[in-house]
Amino acid sequence: MVVGLDIGTTKVCAVIGERGEKGTLEITGVGVSPSTGLRKGVVVNIEATLRSVAAAIEAAEMMSGREVYGVWTGIGGSHIDGINSRGVVAVTGRNRETREITEEDVARVLEAARAVVIPMDRQVLELIPQAYIVDNQKGIRDPLDMIGVRLEAEVHIITCSVTGAQNLIKCVNRAGFHVDGLVLQSLAAGRAVLTEEEKELGVALVDLGGGTTDVLVYSEGAPYSTTTIPAGGSQVTNDISIMKNIPYDTAEKIKIEAGSCWEDIRSDGIDEEIIVPGVGGRPPLPIPRSEIEMIIRPRMEELFFMVKERIDAALSRPPGGGIVLTGGGSQLLGAAELASFIFRLPCRVGSPLPVGGLVEEYRSPVFSTAVGLVLEGIQRASVPGDRDAPAREGRPLFGRIGDWIKKEFF
C-alpha cells in the first residue's frame, strides 16, 4: 500500500493506492479536507495543518478499509527553486583496457554535478538526470556498460527551504503518520498527467493551486526548469469578494458554479443573473454573470502572462507539446481557452491518467498531485510493500489504545 498526501494552501488531498493481483496499481481510497494552516504553500499554523492532514487521511482510510502508517508527501511553495548543473568524471571501469562505465561511475558523476553552492538555509530536494555525455557523444539516456574515457552528466537540481521541509514533516508526524519521502508537487503532478510523447516534444505543466502556481517545463523528456509564482485561485476569489462586498466563502462558491474567464464559452448569449445571499439581514442581491467574468478574466490573464514570462525565459523556443493545466484552478470554465489564446500554443486540462481501481473520484485535476505521489512512491520504494505490510493486515486494537494513551498523557 502506498499513500500520497498533497498538502495545499486551500485543501489537503490523500490518495491510497494498492498493488493488484497482477502487480498493477489500483486506487482504493481518496480523501479531501479544507486546509487553513498554509499560506502560499508554506506552513504558518502547524495545529491547523495537522488537523487537515488527519481528516483527509481518515476519509481515505474509511473508503479503502485500510489503516495508513506512512505517506509520500508533496512539497511546494515559493521557496522551491530549480537550477541546471553539469558534472564531469573520468571513467574507471571494471577493466582499464575496455573502460566500461559502471554504476559507480554514474554515481560519481551525479555526485559531481550535485556539488553546487547553495545557501545554508536550503537543501537539495531532487536531483534529476537530464542526459549523459560519453566522450562528447551527447543525448545518452543510460550510459551503463558503454565504453568511454570521459563521462559527463547534465542534471536538474531542485532545492527547497530547510525549515519549510522540516515544518511540513513535523505536521505529518504530529498527525500520527510517518513521512516516507518528500516529492516536489509539480513533479508528481507531471508524473500523473503527462504522456511520454509530450515530455519528449517539450511541455510546460502549469499547476494552478489556491495560493501558488507551480510551473514545470520538460525538454527532451526530462525536467528543465522549475519555478513557482506566489499567486493562484485564491486571488481570483478574493477579487470577487472585495469587488462585490460578499463573504469569501460565497465568492468561492460563485467562482466555482458560475465563474468563467472566456466569454465565448456561453453559447446561448444570455447574460443570466446570479442570486447572492444577503449578509447581515440584507436582501439577496442579483449579479449579472458578465460582471463576474469581468473580475475573473483580468486576474487570470495576469497570472498566465507571468507564467509565460517564466517559460520564455527558460526556453529558447516554445514547447512543442504545448501547455497542460492541472490543479483545482484549471477547472475554472474557459481556463484552457484563455491560456491557449495568451500562450499561442495548444492547451489542455490534465487529469490523472487511468491507473485502475474502483474509485473514479481520482480522475480529476484536483487529485493530480496526490495520484502522482502514489506513482512516485511505488517507483522510489526500494522494497515496495514491506514497510506497510502490518497496515494491510489491520492494526491491533491494543496498539491503537496504547498510542492514544501516549498521545494524551505523555
| Nearest partner of 193 among 371, 349, 350, judged by Cα | 350
In contact, 290 and 269? CB cutoff 8 Å: no
CB 310 within 8 A of CB 230: no
d(CA 160, CA 80): 5
Exposure letters 381-399 (e unless 16+ CB within 10 A, then b): beeeeebbeebeeeeeeee
- pLDDT, residue 264, reads 61
Residue 103, phi-psi category: left (phi > 0), alpha (psi -120 to 50), beta (remainder): alpha
Domain ranges of the chain: 81-159, 196-352
Average pLDDT over residues 165-182: 92
The mean pLDDT value for 288-312 works out to: 91
Name the 3-class secondary structure at 93: coil
- d(CA 114, CA 110) in angstroms, rounded, equals 6
Q: Is pLDDT of 44 > 90? A: no
Span 47-91, pLDDT tens digits: 898 999 999 999 999 998 989 999 999 998 888 999 999 999 998
> For residue range 183-221, what is the model confidence (pLDDT) as tens digits?
999 999 999 999 999 999 999 999 999 889 999 999 988
The predicted model gives 334-344 an average pLDDT of 93
The kind and range of the H/E element at 298 are helix 289-314
State how far Cα 125 lies from the chain centre.
14
Helix/strand/coil percentages in the chain, nearest 5: 40, 30, 30
Res 403: pLDDT? 55
Query: For 149-172, how does the pLDDT look when each residue is reduced to its tens digit (9 = 90+)?
Result: 899 999 999 999 999 999 999 999
Predicted TM-score (pTM) of the model is 0.85
- Residue 39 confidence (pLDDT): 83
Residue 120 clears pLDDT 60, i.e. is over it: yes
Angle ∠(182,188,193) on CA atoms, nearest 5 = 170
Q: What is the CATH number of domain 196-352?
A: 3.30.420.40
Report the alpha-carbon distance of residue 327 to residue 16 in Å, rounded.
19
Smallest CA-to-CA distance from 190 within 325, 10, 21 is with 325
What residues have CB less than 8 Å from 240, skipping those under 6 apart? 246, 251, 254, 255, 259, 292, 295, 296
Q: Is pLDDT of 382 > 80? A: no
Residue range 81-159, CATH number: 3.30.1490.110
Taking the CA atoms of 256, 259, 264 and 267 in sequence, report the sign of the dihedral they define. positive
CA–CA distance, 342 with 308 (Å, rounded to integer): 8
Task: Kindly state the DSSP code that residue 333 receives in the 8-state scheme.
Answer: B
